[in-house]
Amino acid sequence: MAETVKLSSPVDGSIYAERPVASEAEIDAAVSRARAAQAQWAKTSIDERGGYLLAFLEALLAMNDEIVPEIAWQMGRPVRYGGEKGGVEERTRYMVALAEKALAPYVPEDRPGFRRYLKRAPLGIVFTIAPWNYPYLTTVNSVVPALMAGNAVILKHAAQTLLVGERFQAAFDKAGLPKGLFQNIVLSHGQTEKLLGSGKVDHCNFTGSVGGGRAIEKAAAGTFMTLGLELGGKDPAYVLPDAKLDHAIANLVDGAFYNTGQCCCGIERVYVHEKVYDDFVEGFIAETRNYVVGNPLDQSTTMGPMAQARFADFIREQKAEALRKGATAHIGMKVEGDQDGSPYLAPEVLTNVNHQMSVMREESFGPIVGIMKVRDDEEAVQLMNDSPYGLTASIWTTDTDHAAALGDRIETGTVFMNRCDYVDPGLVWTGVKDTGKGGAMGLVGYENLTQPKSYHLREAI
């Protein structure tokens, strides 16, 4: 019997989708089609590529009414939020518009008798391994610029969001993209590792766990393929005495609990200056109590289940450990089905926490956040850097210069001031330490999806 991948819905535990994994022959054929299609695609103009990508975008946006409930069934995000169309459109249009500049040849200072320039050449085949938590946004981050840069793309989407890859395929087919340039494929873990080690793909873009990133590095060892790895995060926030507290509270609660806390750059720990600590905590607790946890298909629900029950059980374990070590829990919300082995889970806010607790050190990736009082900038920066991760950090103040100076001292990929949990396509999405390597979006994103090629042409002999 053929091996399949099953998608178990967090809504009710039912099998929402099931697909057979590709055969070895199908994988080889997909790679061959991609290689042949890419050779022709590399010859097309950036303007022509952009036309296809914008047609793809329109086709994908037209499916949104169907996509929104699919997301709820697959990974639990409430339908009231309307899917990911806003971010998908922003990032796609930006990266298409940026391509001409990003891929333009670089010409150094003139040297008489020589023509010298550097071009950005496609890598070849980009293998995107996409996660379930923001299944459309994270896929767009690599697929759109990869194609704009002249590459072919093979997509393996997460088992939890199997149908997303099919939506991408349908949208590209509707746009008339040449066959073989984009292919969605269902693979087992073993097949994924085999493809990575085969030398048949040229770049892998992976968003997922630290353990997953290490497995990919190991599988790709010796192939010399390039890797983009966006892994774990434990993103901190620091609230200064001059912060506009209402704004900070509203945004940090949303940053901690949107998507049931399943955000790479979600707020997982908050450090608050002692001068405003009490007022901040009081407001944060009150705002958190407004969440309505329940079936994500109901319009009244503002927080759905976690994608899998084991993720919720990990949050329960972090909370229990913190309470044993002296933390205080403030929400205590009663949620139907909130019990061991269930993906439904109430949000929680903890105080009296410290860095000996898992909840302040290990990635939670769920609806729990710890808040600590700090004396000054020195203590805040030390605690923010006391982490194996470094994706984003947010600073809440009215002093832009001070925020920038603090940002220089924080070990992170992105420094925010007075906002959080956002990807700016004009910059770069990157991280330090165990958060991974590489970078997506912006000019750097294009650099990572191409290879430099030098031309040194002597004209006078």
On whether both 407 and 449 belong to a single domain, the answer is no
Mean pLDDT value across residues 250-258: 98
On whether both 220 and 361 belong to a single domain, the answer is no
Contact 200, 125 (CB under 8 A): yes
On whether both 42 and 119 belong to a single domain, the answer is yes
On whether both 223 and 129 belong to a single domain, the answer is yes
In terms of Cα–Cα distance, which of 155, 174, 173, 175 is closest to 165? 155
pLDDT for the residue 340: 96
24 carries an active-site annotation: no
On whether residue 336 sits in a domain, the answer given is: yes
| Active-site residue, selected from the candidate residues 84, 230, 268, 348 | 230
Mean pLDDT value across residues 432-443: 97
Number of structural domains in the chain: 2
On whether both 133 and 255 belong to a single domain, the answer is no
pLDDT for the residue 31: 98
pLDDT of 2 higher than 90: no
On whether both 95 and 68 belong to a single domain, the answer is yes
Q: What is the CATH number of the domain that holds 343?
A: 3.40.309.10
Q: What's the pTM?
A: 0.97
| Confidence grade of residue 88 (pLDDT, cut at 50, 70, 90) | very high
On whether residue 405 sits in a domain, the answer given is: yes
Comparing 461 with 179, which gets the higher pLDDT? 179
Beta-strand pair 392-396/235-239: parallel
Residue-number span of the structural domain to which 245 is assigned: 235-417
| Confidence grade of residue 85 (pLDDT, cut at 50, 70, 90) | very high
On whether both 41 and 146 belong to a single domain, the answer is yes
Tokens 């700016």 sit at which residue? 424
In terms of Cα–Cα distance, which of 229, 253, 228 is closest to 239? 253
On whether both 157 and 241 belong to a single domain, the answer is no
On whether both 371 and 443 belong to a single domain, the answer is no
On whether both 91 and 227 belong to a single domain, the answer is yes
For 207, other C-beta atoms within 10 Å of its C-beta total: 27
On whether both 218 and 364 belong to a single domain, the answer is no
On whether residue 430 sits in a domain, the answer given is: no
User: What is the average pLDDT score of the chain?
Assistant: 97
On whether residue 422 sits in a domain, the answer given is: no
On whether residue 429 sits in a domain, the answer given is: no
pLDDT, tens digit, 9 for 90 and up, residues 294-349: 999 999 999 999 999 999 999 999 999 999 999 999 999 999 999 999 999 999 99
On whether residue 339 sits in a domain, the answer given is: yes
On whether residue 399 sits in a domain, the answer given is: yes
Between CA 459 and CA 133 the distance in angstroms is 54
On whether residue 323 sits in a domain, the answer given is: yes
On whether both 114 and 212 belong to a single domain, the answer is yes
Q: What is the CATH number of the domain that holds 14?
A: 3.40.605.10
